[in-house]
Amino acid sequence: MPIQQNEKYDLPKAYEFTEIERRWYERWLSDKSFSAQMGEGKPSFSIVIPPPNVTGVLHIGHALNNTLQDVLVRYHRMKGDNTLWVPGTDHAGIATQNVVERQLAGEKLSRHDLGREKFIERVWAWKEEKGGTIINQLKRLGASCDWDRERFTMDDGLSRAVREVFVRLFKEGLIYKGDYIVNWCPRCHTALADDEVEHDPTDGKLYHIRYPYADGSGYVVVATTRPETMLGDTAVAVHPEDERYQHLKAIGIRLPLTGRTVPVVFDHHVQREFGTGALKVTPAHDRDDYEIGLRHDLPRLKVIDDQGVMNEAAGVYAGLDRFDCRRKVVADLDAQGLIDKIEEYQHAVGKCYRCATVVEPTTSKQWFVSVKPLAAKAVAAVEEGRIKLYPNTWYRTFYAWMENIRDWCISRQIWWGHRIPAWTCEACRRLIVEVNAPDVCPDCGSTRLQQETDVLDTWFSSALWPFSTLGWPEQTRELAVFYPTSVLITSFDILFFWVARMMMMGLHVMGEVPFHDVYLHALVRDKYGKKMSKSTGNVIDPLVMIEQYGTDAFRFTLTAFAAQGREIRMDEERIDGYRRFINKLWNAARFAQMHLKEVDPAITVAVRKTEGLSLAHRWILSRLNTTIAEVRAALDNYNFNDVASISYQFVWHEFCDWYLEWIKADLFSEEMSRRNQAQAVLLTVMEQVLKLLHPVIPFVTEEIWSQLPGRRGSIMHASFPETRAAWADTEAETTMNLLMGVISGLRTIRTEAEVHPSAKIEALLICPDTGRRAILEQYTEGMQGMVRAASLKIVASGTVPDDAGHGLVQDVELVVPLKGMIDVAGELEKLTREQDKLQKELDRVIGKLSNAKFINHAPETVVAKEREKETEIRTRLAKTMESMERLSKLN
C-alpha cells in the first residue's frame, strides 16, 4: 500500500529524531508498509525472528540481532523481492513459570495451591498483560516485521505443529521414554538438556580418599570433587591392564562410612596415568559412571533427591543439603584417617542456564529424542553447502559437536509449556501417543486414561519455528512461497540450543533445509572487552541510547560494529559519533533542499549518462557507482560493518566534504545550464544516498526522502540502487584524486603552520609532469578558492624557500611561503602556556596511576579512563611541542 504523502516544508536546522521516529513508525504501521507480498514470479526472501522470551526486555544483544535482520529485510524489500519477516515470542517454559511463581509467593501461595489448570490460566493472564513488552521495544528499534503475522510458541497453530511432530517422531521410533542419567536442576525442579547446562570454571577442592580393601590388607586412593556422592558408589573401576589392582577382583572394596562392600570392575574408560588409576563409580550421579554401570550391570543407588537433599539411602546423612553433606562426609572421613590429601582445584561446574544453580546429574525416567539419525541429515546438508555458516570459522565447531551429540532429553517437570501428548491406560498400562486426546484405550476400551504430566522442552517447539510459523501442518501459500527461509541471524551461543535443532527438524519433517544461510553474530561486550552486567555498571541499555542519541544513530553504530567474529566491543562515544553522522546527512539535505525546491525531479533523467558533465559531477557519480557495488556485495555476504564504513566514507568525506563544497559555485551560478546540471546530479546522488542508507537508518532517510522534489511514496518501496556502467569514470576519479590531494596538502600546510583561517596564502605548485600540470592549470581557479589562496602558480620546476611550508602529492611539490603570515612570537608564547598546562595535567594523572591504593581499589572502568586520559594528554603535548619546533625554525 503506498504511503500517505507528507506535507512539504523546509527542513529545520536540527534533526528532532524523537518526533520524527514516532510519526513515521505510526504511519508505516497504519499503511501496512511491512506486510509481506507474494507476487508471482518474484524471488522470495524470508526471515523468522529468533523468538525472544515472552518474559524478556530489549537488551543490547536483541538490539544487534534485530537491527541486522531489519537491514537485510529492508534491503530485499527495496530490491523488489517477496519479503517476509516473521515476528514472535517464545513461551520460555522455566523462565515464565518462575516469574508467575514469584508473584504467587508474594501472595503466600504456590502453584500447587492453585492446581495445574488454574495456574496455567494465571500464566496466560500474565502473558496477555505483561508479555508483549519486548515486542513494543522492537518496534521502537524500527523493526519492519509483518506484525499481523506475529506468532507465539503456545498459540493454537504452533501447538498443533508440536503435537504432530512429537507423534510422528514417536511412531518412527525417534522419541522414546526411559531411565537415563540427566542434568537435574534442584531449583527449577526439572531435567535440562546438555546444552542448557553452562560450565563455569570454579575454584573447588579435589579430595583424595582412602578406600580400604575388603580384606583389610591395604587401600586404594580415589580422587573426587564431590565426596558426598561416595554414599552412592556401587563399584571402584580400574583399567583392565593395570597390574596393580588385578588381585582386587576377588577381594573388593569396603566403602567408607557405609559398611558396604563394592566390587572392583575393569573398564577401558579409566586412565591409568591419572591419579592412582582408580575411579569411584556412582552410576546414579555421574554420566560417565552411568555408562560404566551399564557395561558392568552395576546397581544405581540414588542418594540425592530432586531438591538436592540427601535421601534415606544416604543413611545417617539423610536430610542434609548436598553441600552440607559434603562438609560432614569430609569431616567424618578425616576423623577416621581416610583423607589422604585435599588439593585446591579449579574445574568446570555445570550450572542451570536459567537460575545458575549447580545441576545434579541423576537418573530419572524422561522422554528423549534419538538425535543421531537427525544429526546426520543436518551434517550432510552443511557439508553439501545447502546450509552455509557465516563466518566460516564455525564449521569445525559445528561438526565436532554434531559428531558427539547425545540423545536430547525433551521432558520438563514443570506445568507451563506444551504438555506431552501421551496417555497411559490405568487399566492395562498401554501407552497411547496421539495428536488429539483419546477417549478410550484402543486395547482394553477403558476410559481411565492419565495424560503425561511433563511438558516439552521449550527448544522443541522453537526447533519447528521456520515452518510452524508459516502454517504447517497446513499446506499454506506462505509455506509454498517462503520455505525454506533465506537466512537465520542469531548469536553464536545458541548454535546448538536452537540452530542445529532447526536444521534437524526442518530436514526430517519438511524434507528440506529450514534456511540457506546462518549468520552467527558476535556477543556484545563493553569497550574493554568485559561482559556487560548490572553489578559492574557497564550495561549499555538500548532504550536509553535511543532516547539520548536517536534510533538511527544507535542502529548505525550496531551495524558498524558488527564485524564477523566472536566479540563486539561497544562504546557509547561511538554512538555519539554516529549521531554526528546523522546530523551531517541532515545538514547536507538542508543544503540540497535549498537548491532543489523548484526543481522538476524529471531533471535527473539527464544524469543517466555522463556526457557533457563537468569533472566534479562525473567524479561523484563514478564514486557513487563504486559505493553501490561495494555496499550491495557487503549486504549479500553479511559484512554489515563494511556496509556502514563504506557508506560513511562516501557520504561524509566524498559527498559532503568534497562534492557539495566543489559545486557551490555551480549552484549559485547565473548560467542556467551550469546550475541545472549541478541540480540534476545533486538530486540524483541525494536520492541514491538515501536509498543506500535506508536499510540501516530508516527514519532520517524516510523524512528527507519525503521532502525531496515530487510526489513520493515511502522510501522503503523505492528501488535499491543499482550500478550503472555509464557512471564508471576512471579518468574523472584519477583527476579528482590529484586535485583533492593538492587541496588537502595545502590545507594541511596552513593548519600545521597555524595560519589564520581568514588569511590568504601565496601558493606554488612545482609539477614536472606535463599531463598533470595541464590538469592543475585547468582547475586552478577552483583550487584557489578552496584553499583561500591569493595566488596559485603552477610551474615545471623551482626551488623551495627555507621559510616555506612544504608538501608532496605524487610528484607535485606544494610550496607555501610563510614569512609574514604568522605572529611567531605571539604563537610561541601561547603554545608555551599550553605546554605548561598540559604538563601539569600529565603529572597529576601519572601521580594517580602510580598510586597503588588507587590502582587496587578504584573500579576498573575508572582506572581505564585515567589511562586513556594519560594517552590523550601525551598526544596533545607531543603535537604542541611539534608546533613549537616548527615556529622556532621560522623565528
Binding site as annotated, residues for ATP? 534
- The residue whose grid cell reads 532517510 is 701
Q: Which residues of 821-837 are buried (b: 16+ CB within 10 A; e: fewer)?
A: bbebeebbebbeebbee
Could you give the CA distance from residue 679 to residue 285 in angstroms, rounded to a whole number?
Answer: 78
SS3 readout for 554-607: HHHHHHHHCCCCCEEEECHHHHHHHHHHHHHHHHHHHHHHHHHCCCCHHHHHHH
**CA-CA distance, 398 to 390, in Å (whole number)?**
12
d(CA 565, CA 491): 11
DSSP H helices in 597-663: 615-636, 640-648, 661-662
C-alpha cell at 101: 511463581
Q: Which of 706, 738, 713 is nearest to 812 (CA)?
A: 738
- Give the HSE-up count for residue 720: Cα atoms under 13 Å, Cβ half-sphere: 23
Neighbours of 673 (CB within 10 A): 9
Is the bond preceding 484 in cis, omega lying within 30 degrees of 0? yes
Quickly tell me which residue has 525442579 as its cell. 189
**CA 626, 632, 634 angle in degrees (round to 5)?**
100
CA 588 to mean position of chain CA atoms: 32
Nearest to 260 by CA among 243, 238, 289, 280: 280
Handedness of CA 237, 241, 244, 249 (dihedral sign): positive
Per DSSP, the three-state class of 188 is: coil
The x, y and z cell numbers of residue 812, run together, are 607535485
What residues are designated binding site? 534
The 10 Å Cβ neighbour count of residue 281 is 26
Burial call 236-245: b when 16+ CB within 10 Å, e when fewer: bbbbeeeeeb
Q: Cα separation of 515 and 482, whole Å?
A: 10
For residue 290, report the phi and psi dihedrals to the nearest 5 degrees.
-60, -45
Could you give phi then psi for residue 563, rounded to 5 degrees?
Answer: -75, 150
**Peptide bond before residue 473 is cis, with ω within 30 degrees of 0:** yes
Q: Residue 500 in contact with residue 401, Cβ under 8 Å?
A: yes
Count of residues making up the chain: 891
**Alpha-carbon distance 189 to 94, whole Å?**
10
Helices (H), 7-155: 17-30, 60-78, 93-106, 111-114, 116-130, 133-140
- By C-alpha distance, which of 665, 648, 666 is closest to 657? 648
- Per-residue cell: 669: 551560478
d(CA 705, CA 786): 30
The phi and psi torsions of 369 (rounded to 5 degrees) equal: -105, 130
